A = this chain, B = another copy of it.
Amino acid sequence: MHWTLARRAEKMNPSVIREILKVTERPGIISFAGGLPSAKTFPVDAFAAAAAKVLRDDGPAALQYSASEGYRPLCEAVAAWLPWDVNPDQVLITTGSQQGLDLVGKVLIDEDSRVLVETPTYLGALQAFAPMEPSVVGVDGDDDGVAIGDFAAKAPGARFFYVLPNFQNPTGRTMGEARRAALVERAAALDVPLVEDNPYGDLWFDAPPPAPLAARNPDGAIYLGSFSKVLAPGLRLGYVVAPRAIHPKLLQAKQAADLHTPGFNQRVVAEVIKDGFLDRHVPTIRALYKQQRNAMLGALEREMQGLGMQWNQPAGGMFLWARLPEGVSAVDLLPRAVERGVAFVPGAAFYAAGGDARTLRLSFVTASADEIDTGIAALAQALREHLATLHA
């Protein structure tokens, strides 16, 4: 049988990160590569109690087909949780926020549509948009987020600008208040919708980040949120908040994609989070991740002495962004690091088009503080050996 593939499928290649993650599953490897939340933070007992209650009180409804919009009490809980005036009718529950990206792509992207993303950006968004065959353009940025001038220069004709303002994946950077205000104002003036992805916003360490972009101009933004980082990713529960002009289209795309997000899971999470559970639970995640970020910063300071490595100090989230000394490619370093028992993701994977080969992403949430110490020491050792080879 000869299968004629769609053009987009011919172009699909195994994800770099996916291949790396396979390596990191080897026993004994300390992984700074994946974006896996610490399983220690999963409220297993609360889920067990909620699952039992949902099946006991509401089993047949929880196991039946249900509305594509989502379980109404969960839509209401999401609307109440968000820090601006959201009507539950604007909320669409998705099968993880990754699905929100798929739906946004289907509703807003034609072949060759101009789509703006940050430089670098979340690899999964590039993958979700790819089937719609957009022309993706990276907007420059700095430690404070998006460069407004570059955005304005690249904005004409763009279908939307995909932005991750809080503790960005992959860089860990956060967009400041003034920058947010400027971006929202320019986007409105230039008539470019914003697609704001905020999976990490609640994971701040010392102070909450500035208000979301969507809160500043709700009619000009689609907002994507997730329960993956504040509860657990294995239930695949995310949500989209969309203006009335867009919500019905996203809803139809959702229905065609998987009919609805599992009603059982939606009821379990609605049950877990009622009565303020997140207000008690999320601070424990913040404290753990802050401690692990501090462990990583400390280990880098200690182990990377004199090696010419640079890194940032994320104020929340899961990732730290680092840069190797001149002439060292992260892709070249990776095999030696894995040999030494430690893994990371080369930063080049996160650029829409050709990236800085010296960059790498380090996750500080999967490994414990002790493992972080061991892993960063191993990474330093790998770098020393690699530098010695280069200069030999």
Contact = CB atoms under 8 A, between A and B. Distances in A.
So how many copies of this chain end up in the complex? Answer: 2
A101 B217 CA distance: 36
Interface stretch (A75-83, A246-254, A282-290, A379-387): A246-254
7 contacts: A4-B108, A9-B108, A35-B65, A47-B264, A48-B51, A111-B111, A258-B258
A264 B246 contact: no
Given A42-B60, A42-B64, A233-B63, A257 B128 contact: yes
Interface stretch (A92-100, A146-154, A303-311, A312-320): A92-100
Chain A contact patch, size range: 35 or more
Contact of A109 (B6, B34, B63): B6
Interface in A215-255: 217, 219-220, 228, 232-236, 243, 245-246, 248-249, 252-253, 255
A336 interface: no
Contact of A98 (B9, B106, B232, B257): B257
A107 B47 contact: no
B52 A106 contact: no
A263 to B, nearest CB: 4
Interface string A1-13: 1111111110011
A265 interface: yes
A3 B193 contact: yes
A63 B48 contact: no
A263 B234 contact: yes
Contacts of A374: none
A235 to B, nearest CB: 5
Given A4-B159, A102-B258, A9 B236 contact: no
Given A191-B2, A219-B1, A262-B262, A51 B62 contact: no
A19 to B, nearest CB: 12
A3 B246 contact: yes
Given A232-B64, A233-B64, A235-B63, A99 B258 contact: yes
B65 A55 contact: no
**Which of A44, A108, A132, A258 has the most chain B CB atoms inside 10 A of its CB?**
A258
Given A63-B235, A127-B252, 7 more contacts: A12-B249, A42-B64, A48-B52, A48-B59, A61-B234, A99-B257, A234-B263
A37 B60 CA distance: 10
Contact of A14 (B110, B127, B252, B259): B252
A124 interface: yes
Given A106-B8, A107-B5, A47 B65 contact: no
Contact of A65 (B13, B14, B52, B234): B234
